[in-house]
Amino acid sequence: MREFLNQWMPIDASAHGHQVDDLIVLTHWLMAVLFVVWGAYFLFCLYRFNAKRHPRADYIGARTHVSTYGELGVAVVEVVLLAGLSIPAWYKWTHLPQKDKNPIEIHVVAEQFAWNIHYPGPDGVFGRSDPKLMSSTNPLGLDPKDPNAKDDIVTLNNLHLPVNRAAVIHVTSKDVIHSFKLPVMRSEQDAIPGMDVPIHFTPIKTNDNGDRWEIACAQLCGLGHYRMRGQLFVHGAAEFDKWMKSAPTAFATQ
Amino acid sequence: MALKRQVRVGNQWMYARDAWRTLEEARRVTLEEERLQQQHELPFIRKYVFSTDHKVIGLQYGFTALCFLLLGFCLMILMRLQLGWPGQAFSVMKLIGAMRAPGGVLLPEAYNQLGAMHGTIMIFLGIVPLAVGAFGNYLVPLQIGAPDMAFPKLNMASYWCYFVGGVIMLSSFFYSGGTANSGWTSYPPLSDIATHGQTFWLCGMVFLITSSLLGSVNFLVTIIQLRAKGMTLMRFPFFVWAQFVTSFLLLLAFPPLEAAAVLQMMDRLAGTSFFLPSGLVVSGQVLPNAGGGNPLLWQHLFWFLAHPEVYVLILPAMGIIAEIIANNTRKPLWGYRSMVGAVIFLGFMSFVVWAHHMFLTGMGTVISAFFQTTTMIISIPSVIVLSALFISLWGGSIRFNTPMLFALAFLPMFGIGGLTGLPLGLATADLHLHDTYYVIGHFHYVVAPGTIFAMFAGVYYWFPKISGRRLNEFWGKVHFWISLVCINGIFFPMFMQGLAGVSRRLYDGGIQYAHAKAIAEQTNPFMSVCAIGLLCAQVPFLINFFYNAILALLGRRNEIANQNPWQATTLEWAATTSPPLGHGNFEVIPVVYRGPYEYSLPDSATDWTPQNQESVEPALPPGGGMLPEVAVAQREM
Amino acid sequence: MDAHAHAIDAGHDHGGHHELEIPFNVAPRPDTGVYNAKLGVWLFLASEVMLFGALFSSLILLRTGAAHWPVGKDTLHVLPATINTFVLILSSVTVVLAWANLRLGDLKMGRIFIGVTLLCGLIFMLIKAYEYNLSFSHEHFPKTNNFFAIYFTMTGLHGLHVLGGMIVFAYFLTFGSKMWKTEPARFTNRIEVVGLYWHFVDLVWIFLFPTLYLL
Ligand code: HEA
Ligand code: HEA
Ligand code: CUA
Ligand SMILES: [Cu+2]
């Protein structure tokens, strides 16, 4: 089943992704078993109880209670999937890594139709931002007077991450609802204006080899929804630092 | 207590105990009226336009809804052309105007309009009015032995509210700003700041909701109050149960959407900020609204309706399928009681699963665990109903006529749709699948080869009842097989796309995305070809339908469509003529002696014993009045 | 048309053409104990509960999420609203009296009480209009903030319900009362049913008043 589904699924480059994939695979097993068993039974009935072959119906019909056990079986498997996999995995998904894991924190602010990616820079503190200051050159409305903002790095549509280090990403939006989706990271979070929701994952593979990994927008956000995409770069630690140093700071151009 | 009460009202005495006598009286009046109506026809407009006869209203609903279904499909054909061959010019696109498709190339904003309208039209203007307004209206009073719905005028008002709602929705196509374009879900802030088409959408929805509310009150009262003598709850045809639960869902789930629509209307027209948080910046401009609102509020109100709504789409379909399967296996439904229990349970549960559409809005563990659990629980009653239908086949004597083919295909198709709901209901799996084509595939399997097939099955099955003519079997089978193949060709690849992570509502089907390009290019043209094939497959149906409908209107019956061509046991067949009498339905209101599906009773000479037949022995049913030879001859077909 | 109106007993004839008699339109069905319209209105009220329930839930959600929420006492006008509460409660009593008198066969008193109920509705609406005006003159509009937004939406929707009830009462006071001559029991039922609706509208106000004005 896993190989079968993997034909279509994007590669999984995250630490938690296998939990998502396991659950998808197991659920599809359940579905396949139900489908095949009922399907075979169904075809048999159509053949065996065709009016030509079986001219007079039996008033009572089936006398077994196998189906009740079947239904119980389905319920049990569902409980296992739920309590054994889905809920624990969701628990991990919604609990951020401890600070001692040294996660890299990033803000992602969606707008029609682009992703603004905001790094705190070397000081590790995000600068203050204010909607009134937003402009095309200052898409996040960072306050130039705020010293914390000076070293912040803001990129458009390009998310750079170091490999094997937890990433905590605060997702929000300036205008309408978008959805921040990283298929290769098995991660997604709606970007909702007025809310700042942190998600986290740990990339375990890099695409320094040139593979194209993308940020997709999964929620209808207007006429440019279909082209609202960004790129994800996962670097080895050294490359990542190199990129950090070379990236222009928020007010570099001003 | 009520039985003993005597009340003097004005100069009339009312004896509650004599209520049954009122029923008798109603029968006499009905007969009387029949006689009168033959002498003095109602004017055309009262009889066919502003009619209060549930059968005429049912037909009005049915015809309008089928037209909307076709329209919804045609909109989708335009979208599928764009998805299959993005950016290419098609001359049919010009039909929707140069401002939406200059030179025949669809614009992204127009794609979004078509998508929102496809979803809205299919659900609110197509399936619900067809499944409830048309089938429910026409059949429920007949099946429970009632002369009409409890409130005939309200019934008429319900249809006309629907009609006005539909006209408002459609008129937005002619408005220069275009139709609503924020998806059928209309999530704010996008919908709050959208063009005026959204206001049309909201107004239209208010009318549609009103229509559904009037209709559902009417259904519930009819089913509870107007049952014929002997029609106890466990003698209801399953279809009646399905309509009963459906009406409860409509009654209780729609008002929150009405509230939401009013709030969104205020946001759009009065400048409030129910759904707008502070500090929104749209295209570089700070919105002037006061802010402080919450966009998730809309989602809660919307899905509180919309999840029960999806069961509104499926329950009547299950009801139709159950009728047809019992009839064409010539045996009672297996596990009728557990099916009834299951749909009632389903009805209750459907109010507590709504947030499974919102797992990725930032939901914590506890709340998500709750909604995942309820979602898994709600899958069990569906499994029970489907299992019961499957097991009903065992020991049957299955006739493969057109309605039965559609009904049989419903089972595995709904199965696929329902099963793919399971990974979506597990939040962790939804993390990858949410808002991808996997979701689109999931629900289309339930609504298209599921509900739409059930609707087709119903049309083929009850057409003789309504018109006195049977639809052509050969063309029916052509319609069935091509539709079955094509519809799977459209929707199955959606699961592959969804697993690949292709988002929904993408104007170009995803070819710009690295992870989606390959699969989109491989499958989209094929799916679009299948969609066109599906459209072509409807041509024999349309011809079959209109040809026979017109001949029936001209009063020409065909011999096969006797009173009761399928030899069915339920009252709509066994106790009335085909087509039924005018207003009033029954010559004599039937008395019910047995359960709905007494097929192949061991002691009976025939393999069907109508509900209104007192003793098992006589081979001839009172209403049907068919010769045994005819009956045998028909069984061969 | 005329010919057939003669043919049947006038009791079954409404407005020029003949209509089908629906069972249990007037007398209750023995096994359920209610007549159709009564069951209908209870179901309708269930849906109304969901409608206002959704709005109340929205109010709670918005309020708990708000950084600052004005207190109704300070910004709204409690006195007219208090008077309005009593006006509505009074009208709930008069509508019961109207029904009771009709049950006793007294159309005259019945009509008087329907009239009083209608008048109460009118007074309520006038006071409400006065209150809206006061708010507007203080530059308080729906768009001012979410408190006023929900205040105007909920009271507005409630006002529409009052208006709907008034139209029905006006109808029964005028054209609608013709039914008394032919079907007094049915007419009495109609007043009972609209009375149930009216109680509900009253009840909604009794919830709205403290939530918006006092808390
Ligand atoms: C009629 C409509 C209908 C029905 C019946 C269902 C039924 C179910 N739905 Fe579906 N759903 C929709 C219509 C429907 N849905 C729509 C329209 C959407 C998308 C809305 C939007 O976003 O636009 C949606 C979206 C949707 C989501 C949100 C996905 C997302 O956005 O990420 C979820 C998540 O839990 C879900 C779950 C379920 C579940 C668990 C069921 C269960 O009730 C299913 C239970 C059924 C079974 C388990 C089948 C049992 C079958 C067998 C045992 C036999 C098998 C045998 C053979 C096949 C031979 N649905
Ligand atoms: C009941 C609901 C319903 C039904 C039946 C359908 C039916 C179909 N849908 Fe639809 N669809 C939705 C509800 C429905 N859809 C919704 C809610 C969405 C999401 C919208 C959004 O994103 O907001 C959607 C989105 C959607 C998409 C995704 C678009 C996107 O995300 O960008 C696609 C893509 O292929 C699609 C295709 C189809 C197709 C090919 C059919 C076919 O199966 C159509 C089959 C139709 C028929 C076979 C017509 C039968 C009628 C007749 C033959 C008429 C007879 C007339 C007379 C006798 C008078 N639909
Ligand atoms: Cu942003 Cu879709
Ligand atoms: Cu749902």
C72 in Cβ contact with B274 (< 8 Å) = no
Nearest residue to B86 (alpha-carbon basis) of B555, B620, B565, B521: B521
User: What's the confidence (pLDDT) of residue B562?
Assistant: 63
| Rounded Cα gap, residues C207 and B459, in angstroms | 48
User: What's the confidence (pLDDT) of residue C104?
Assistant: 92
Top pLDDT among A135 and B36 is at: A135
User: Which of C28, C54, C143 minimises the CB distance to B270?
Assistant: C143
Interchain contact C15–B (C-beta under 8 A) = no
Interface contact flag, C40 B218, Cβ < 8 Å: yes
Strand partners for B436: B503
Highest mean pLDDT: which range of A124-128, B174-178, B213-217, C18-22: B213-217
| Rounded Cα gap, residues B481 and B431, in angstroms | 36
Interface contact flag, C30 B253, Cβ < 8 Å: no
Please say if the pLDDT value at position B180 is more than 80: yes
- Per-position DSSP letters for B191-257, written without gaps between them: TTSS-THHHHHHHHHHHHHHHHHHHHHHHHHHHHH-PPTT--GGGS-HHHHHHHHHHHHHHHHHHHH
Please say if the pLDDT value at position B238 is more than 80: yes
Nearest residue to B342 (alpha-carbon basis) of B389, B393, B390, B383: B383
Q: Chain B: list its partners (3+ Cβ pairs within 8 Å).
A: A, C
Mutate to test the pocket of ligand 1, among B310, B314, B453 (most ligand atoms within 8 A of CB): B310
Mutate to test the pocket of ligand 2, among B440, B460, B527 (most ligand atoms within 8 A of CB): B440
Over range C176-188, report the average pLDDT. Answer: 89
Please say if the pLDDT value at position C7 is more than 60: no
Q: What residues does ligand 1 touch, defined as CB less than 6 Å away?
A: A 34-35, 38-39, 42; B 185, 310, 313-314, 356-357, 375, 378-379, 382-383, 386, 412, 415-416, 418-419, 421-422, 424-425, 430, 434-435, 439, 442-443, 446-447
B551 in Cβ contact with B469 (< 8 Å) = yes
Sheet holding A153-156, edge to edge: A153-156, A114-119, A104-111, A167-173, A197-201
Please say if the pLDDT value at position B590 is more than 70: yes
Nearest residue to B265 (alpha-carbon basis) of B194, B333, B216: B194
Q: What share of chain C is helix, strand, coil (3-state, %, to 5)?
A: 80, 0, 20
Q: Which ligand is in closest contact with the Cα of A174?
A: 3
- Mean of all residue pLDDT scores within chain B: 87
C209: number of Cβ within 10 Å: 19
| Rounded Cα gap, residues B564 and B575, in angstroms | 10
pTM of the predicted structure, to 2 decimals: 0.91
| Rounded Cα gap, residues B129 and B131, in angstroms | 6
Checking phi first, is residue B502 left (phi over 0); if not, alpha (psi -120 to 50) or beta?
beta
Over range A162-166, report the average pLDDT. Answer: 92
Over range C173-189, report the average pLDDT. Answer: 89
b/e sequence B95-131, b meaning 16+ C-beta within 10 Å: ebeeebbeeebbbbbbbbbbbbbbbbbbbbbbbbbbb
Query: Which residue is listed with tokens 């209670």?
Result: A65
User: Which value, to the nearest 10 degrees, does the dihedral of the CA atoms of residues C116, C120, C121, C123 take?
Assistant: 130
Token reading at A19: 């939990």
Over range B480-489, report the average pLDDT. Answer: 96
Q: Chain A contacts of B399, Cβ < 8 Å? A: 51
SS3 C65: helix
Q: Is the CB of B116 under 6 A from ligand 2?
A: yes
Distance (Å) from the C-alpha of residue A151 to the closest C-alpha of chain B? Answer: 24
Q: Chain B contacts of A31, Cβ < 8 Å? A: 419-420, 422-423
Q: Chain A contacts of B279, Cβ < 8 Å? A: 131, 193-194
User: What's the confidence (pLDDT) of residue C37?
Assistant: 92
Mutate to test the pocket of ligand 2, among B77, B85, B118, B466 (most ligand atoms within 8 A of CB): B118
Please say if the pLDDT value at position B534 is more than 50: yes
C123: number of Cβ within 10 Å: 16
Task: Give me the long-range contacts of B89-97 (CB less than 8 A, separation at least 24).
Answer: B96/B173
User: What's the confidence (pLDDT) of residue C2?
Assistant: 35
A104 in Cβ contact with A94 (< 8 Å) = no
SS3 B181: coil
CA of B71 to the centre of ligand 2 (A): 10
Taking only the tens place, the pLDDT of each residue in C17-27 is 445 788 898 88
B147 in Cβ contact with B30 (< 8 Å) = yes
Task: Give me the long-range contacts of B598-605 (CB less than 8 A, separation at least 24).
Answer: B598/B332, B598/B569, B599/A57, B599/A59, B599/B326, B599/B327, B599/B329, B599/B330, B599/B331, B599/B332, B599/B569, B600/A56, B600/A57, B600/A58, B600/A59, B600/B330, B600/B331, B600/B397, B601/A59, B602/A59
Token reading at B357: 């559409």
Q: Is the CB of B122 under 6 A from ligand 2?
A: yes
Q: Where are the beta strands (DSSP E) in B545-624?
A: none
Q: Chain B contacts of C145, Cβ < 8 Å? A: 290, 292
Top pLDDT among B8 and B68 is at: B68
Taking only the tens place, the pLDDT of each residue in B113-168 is 999 999 999 999 999 999 999 999 999 999 999 999 999 999 999 999 999 999 99
User: Which of B17, B147, B271 minimises the CB distance to C22?
Assistant: B147
Cα dist from A65 to B334, B346, B387, whole Å: 11, 22, 11
Mutate to test the pocket of ligand 1, among B439, B447, B499, B505 (most ligand atoms within 8 A of CB): B439
Taking only the tens place, the pLDDT of each residue in B339-378 is 999 999 999 999 999 999 999 998 889 999 999 999 999 9
User: What's the confidence (pLDDT) of residue B269?
Assistant: 93
| Rounded Cα gap, residues B155 and C108, in angstroms | 33
B382: number of Cβ within 10 Å: 22
| Rounded Cα gap, residues B109 and B121, in angstroms | 18
User: What's the confidence (pLDDT) of residue B13?
Assistant: 33
Cα angle B298-B302-B307, degrees, rounded to a multiple of 5: 150
Ligand 1 closest atom vs CA B436: 32
Chain A residue with CA closest to B499: the answer is A9
| Rounded Cα gap, residues B570 and B584, in angstroms | 18
| Rounded Cα gap, residues B420 and B379, in angstroms | 11
ipTM: 0.93
CA of B121 to the centre of ligand 2 (A): 9
SS3 B186: coil
Please say if the pLDDT value at position B629 is more than 70: no
Q: Chain C contacts of B225, Cβ < 8 Å? A: 23-24, 29, 32, 34-36, 39
Phi (first) and psi of residue B193, to 5 degrees: -105, 5
What type of residue sits at position A247? A
Query: Which residue is listed with tokens 């037949």?
Result: B613
Cα angle B313-B317-B323, degrees, rounded to a multiple of 5: 160
Please say if the pLDDT value at position C39 is more than 70: yes
Nearest residue to B612 (alpha-carbon basis) of B634, B628, B589, B629: B589
Query: What is the number of alpha carbons within 13 Å of residue B404 lying toward its C-beta?
Result: 19
pLDDT band at B561 (very low <50, low <70, confident <90, very high): low
Nearest residue to B222 (alpha-carbon basis) of C50, C41, C22: C22
pLDDT band at A147 (very low <50, low <70, confident <90, very high): confident
C73: number of Cβ within 10 Å: 11
User: What's the confidence (pLDDT) of residue B76?
Assistant: 95
Over range B582-598, report the average pLDDT. Answer: 85
Pairing of β C13-14 and β C17-18: antiparallel
Neighbours of ion ligand 4 (CB under 5 A): B 307
Checking phi first, is residue B236 left (phi over 0); if not, alpha (psi -120 to 50) or beta?
beta
Query: Which residue is listed with tokens 């159709």?
Result: C36
Strand partners for C18: C13
User: Which of B9, B15, B260 minimises the CB distance to C188?
Assistant: B9
pLDDT band at B33 (very low <50, low <70, confident <90, very high): low
Nearest residue to C40 (alpha-carbon basis) of B20, B210, B19, B224: B224
b/e sequence B149-177, b meaning 16+ C-beta within 10 Å: bbbbebbbbbbbbbbbbbebbbebbeeee
Interface contact flag, B435 A176, Cβ < 8 Å: no
Task: Give me the long-range contacts of A62-67 (CB less than 8 A, separation at least 24).
Answer: A62/B334, A62/B391, A62/B394, A62/B395, A67/B335, A67/B387, A67/B388, A67/B390, A67/B391
B79 in Cβ contact with B114 (< 8 Å) = yes
Q: Is the CB of B507 under 6 A from ligand 2?
A: no
Over range C195-208, report the average pLDDT. Answer: 95
Determine which residue's CA is closest to atom 30 belonging to ligand 1: B434
- Per-position DSSP letters for A130-177, written without gaps between them: -GGG--SSSTT-B-TT-HHHHT-EEEESEEEEETTS-EEEEEEESSS-
User: Which of C33, C36, C54 minimises the CB distance to B259?
Assistant: C54
Q: Chain A contacts of B396, Cβ < 8 Å? A: 45, 49, 54, 57-58, 61
pLDDT band at A23 (very low <50, low <70, confident <90, very high): very high
- Mean of all residue pLDDT scores within chain A: 89
Query: Which residue is listed with tokens 């589904």?
Result: A5
| Rounded Cα gap, residues A206 and B492, in angstroms | 33
Interchain contact C14–B (C-beta under 8 A) = no
pLDDT band at B42 (very low <50, low <70, confident <90, very high): low
pLDDT band at C59 (very low <50, low <70, confident <90, very high): very high
| Rounded Cα gap, residues B105 and B97, in angstroms | 11
CA of A220 to the centre of ligand 3 (A): 5
Q: Let me know how long chain A is.
A: 254
Q: Chain B contacts of C61, Cβ < 8 Å? A: 294, 297, 300
pLDDT band at B2 (very low <50, low <70, confident <90, very high): very low
| Rounded Cα gap, residues B264 and B267, in angstroms | 5
Interface contact flag, A175 B281, Cβ < 8 Å: yes
Determine which residue's CA is closest to atom 47 belonging to ligand 2: B73
SS3 B285: strand
Over range A194-211, report the average pLDDT. Answer: 91
Taking only the tens place, the pLDDT of each residue in B417-458 is 999 999 999 999 999 999 999 999 999 999 999 999 999 999
| CA C10 to chain centroid | 31
